[in-house]
Amino acid sequence: MSEGLSIGQMTTYLKKYLVKFRGNRRSAPLVSPAPLDIMVSGLGSGIALSILAALSMVYKMPMIVASFGASAILIYGAPDAPLSQPRNVIFGHLLSAAVGVTIYRLFGFTWTAAAMATTIALILMLITKTTHPPGGATALFAVLGRAEPIYILTPVVTGAVIMVIVGILTNNLSPNRQYPRYWW
């Protein structure tokens, strides 16, 4: 008995692997929300990010991070998506911020720490079923920004909660939407 894969098996695997690169469609499905939903999306995003930016200026402390821009796209532009639900938004950011701060405090400002923070945040979000893609940026920024532990509470958790509250208030203005779809 030989160990490992034969050349034929490796060739078959490689062919199947490369075929996946083609995708399954010739083009992406073209779906545009109703005009009212587009306006509601813009309203929610504008209100939430304005509140966070204003709070940052008034209280002279950070209340907004770049990853909230991506969260706004999900919460207000794709409110039905599982990655947009309150559990994912709040806990995805919370876990990611905690991981990022911990990794920074343990390993400092290094390229390996930046990669490790995002990777560990991803793994924890997958395990806890709280995946929120902008959380990856939240973890990365914790290292790149040399974040202190307060970063977890403000701007991250406070900002995520405010964004979810605004999402509840604005998304439900449309008869075509229900946000959240679930809490837990």
- The amino acid present at 22, given as its one-letter code, is R
Give the tens place of pLDDT for each residue, 24-35.
Answer: 777 766 778 899
> How confident is the model at residue 130, as a pLDDT?
97
> How confident is the model at residue 94, as a pLDDT?
98
Q: CB of 44 within 8 A of CB of 170?
A: yes
Give the tens place of pLDDT for each residue, 70-82.
Answer: 999 999 999 999 9
- The 3 state secondary structure assigned to the chain is CCCCCCHHHHHHHHHHHHHHHHCCCCCCCCCCCCHHHHHHHHHHHHHHHHHHHHHHHHHCCCCCCCHHHHHHHHHHHCCCCHHHCHHHHHHHHHHHHHHHHHHHHHHCCCHHHHHHHHHHHHHHHHHHCCCCCHHHHHHHHHHHCCCCCHHHHHHHHHHHHHHHHHHHHHHCCCCCCCCCCCCC
CA–CA gap between residue 162 and residue 72 (Å, rounded): 11
The angle at the Cα of 81, spanning 179 to 133, to the nearest 5 degrees, equals 115
> How confident is the model at residue 20, as a pLDDT?
85
CA–CA gap between residue 180 and residue 70 (Å, rounded): 18
- Over 60: is that where the pLDDT of 1 sits? no
Task: Tell me the pTM.
Answer: 0.88
Q: Which two tokens stand for residue 71?
A: 């969260």
Split at pLDDT 50, 70, 90, the class of 181 is very high
- Over 90: is that where the pLDDT of 126 sits? yes
Mean pLDDT of the chain: 94
- The amino acid present at 35, given as its one-letter code, is P
